[in-house]
Amino acid sequence: MILLLGLLTSGIALSTTFAPQEFPDSVRGTPVIIRGKVGMSYSDWGHDADGVRRVYTFYEVQGPEGLKGDVAAQSVMIRELGGTKDGVGLVIDGTASFEKGEDVVVFLRDRNSEGTYDVNGMMMGKYDVVSGSDGHEYLSGPGLLGQNNPSGKKWSLDDLRQLIRNQEQTPDRKGSSLPLPQKSVQPLPVASASAPPSNALESSEAESSQNSFLIYLAGLLTLGGLGVAIFMGFKKRPPKS
């Protein structure tokens, strides 16, 4: 049983499938994009977003040009899941592979808690930079094949830079850079939204006091009239014989 577990943990292979996504959508959905030369590489333990300890292969990208996102450093460490460390090997089909000296454009996720960057989309997030016969630099990679690039367009590095600029100016997917019209809302006058003015309160209080006095006076007159009527009734009663 122990031997079986040792065999299982010493080498693990996983397969990966990819849903097609057009190149502009991949660019829009990627927070960090850099261009640079691949330097040293090594495998080591690392933690994923859920805190699980896994084996990663780390690659240095030297002199990165920050095409998208905030990257300001002479070199950046990126990583891909998989590798061999302490006798434990992890192989995942579809991961991006990097060779020292390669000129690459890499799509990355935001910087992780360990200070490195995970490749976004695995092999779909790695593009080689190749020189065209027209003197322009072009991108080459699985992310520009088949349904990911139905028009068959050749994407140059300048095209990518322009696409990123356009998307930054048009954050919505429909591509409208004009601000949406907004209705102007005028605040209500303070007097109508709160208590009435002080002069209105004083007038109301004076009127209320006057009405109370009139009611009180009418009551007195009524009681007085009733008293007079009773007195006159006794006065007019004939004397008993």
Give average pLDDT by consecutive 10-residue segment, the chain, 241 residues: 36 68 97 97 95 96 94 92 94 95 98 95 97 96 96 97 95 46 43 46 50 52 47 48 44
Residue 19's pLDDT is what? 84
How many CA atoms does the CB half-sphere of 98 hold within 13 Å?
35
| Cβ contacts of 24 within 8 Å, gap of 6 or more | 163, 167
- What is d(CA 202, CA 206) in angstroms, rounded to the nearest whole number? 6
Residue 192's pLDDT is what? 42
Residue 226's pLDDT is what? 44
- pTM greater than 0.85 (yes/no): no
Q: How far apart are the first and last CA of the chain?
A: 137
DSSP string, 18-47: -----HHHHHHT-SEEEEEEEEEEEEEEEE
Residue 155's pLDDT is what? 98
